Structure 1
């Protein structure tokens, strides 16, 4: 069975969705959740599914300790699901094309440092976009610039608010993220 590590910084709804999805399959299993936020809801979600948690600081992410923990697990895929820190090049180099991220916009639009969550949804509404969506991409040394694996769009109306955009995006994430991870692991 293939091993997945999930990195998350916040509520962990995508992380939990991935955990639940793979608990029903024989393809892979989420073997650990790593977080840089000691008060993140993802910790509780992972514990509810008996998934080991690794809590670390930004400094520790850049040090050898986290790399060693990843090496001990030897994952087939590292999934960033709402992870807000820039991923270290030392880890990216060790796991080429084995680290993916989900972004709540149609890249290259609304990507880069500081572009996450409601910041993106507000910008999408302010710019009166007619559509938005999700992008799943490989992680490289630049924020949101890795090769795109998958994109799915959703139509917007003039009545959409940042909150309704967030709901639409969340629906896309919940449906497609586990499917794309499965496809990557089957290839």
Structure 2
């Protein structure tokens, strides 16, 4: 896979909630070119095993007042890479795991494609992200 990627020379490697620890050799070969999406405001609720409903359940159990998504560069540690962008949503005390999942999904659909475009085509965006 590494040789194939080196041949292709991608501008960006986009992981959308990748669950495994990404191969370190690929991260090293493509610094600041591998990004992932996490369904919480890192550094909270990150790390091995913290994905999907596991994250949403932890957010509800901790009675968080807000949550969100984090788009970050990937490094050799789960959910530890430099943060590119975060987007928040308010939570109600009555929100269920399913409610949180729905709010996160909305944030992902709205913001992830925009951030990818901004990373690929920075010249098209002003400093305010427009």
**5+ long unaligned stretches in structure 1:** 1-65
Show the counterpart of 1:68: 3
**5+ long unaligned stretches in structure 2:** 123-130
Show the counterpart of 1:149: 84
Instruction: List per-residue Cα deviations over 1:96-155 (Å, max 9, x = no partner).
Output: 000001100000000000000000000000111000000001111111111101001100
How many Å apart are 1:158 and its aligned residue? 1.1
Structural mapping, 1:83-162, within 5 Å: 83-162=18-97
Instruction: Identify the structure with the greater strand proportion.
Output: 1
Distance 1:115 1:85 in 2: 11
TM-score (norm 2): 0.91
Which consecutive segments of 4 or more residues in structure 1 shift more than 2 A? none
How many Å apart are 1:88 and its aligned residue? 1.0
How many Å apart are 1:69 and its aligned residue? 2.3
Distance 1:171 1:154 in 2: 10
Distance 1:141 1:91 in 2: 10
SS in 1 for 2:2: helix
SS in 2 for 1:150: strand
TM-score (norm 1): 0.64
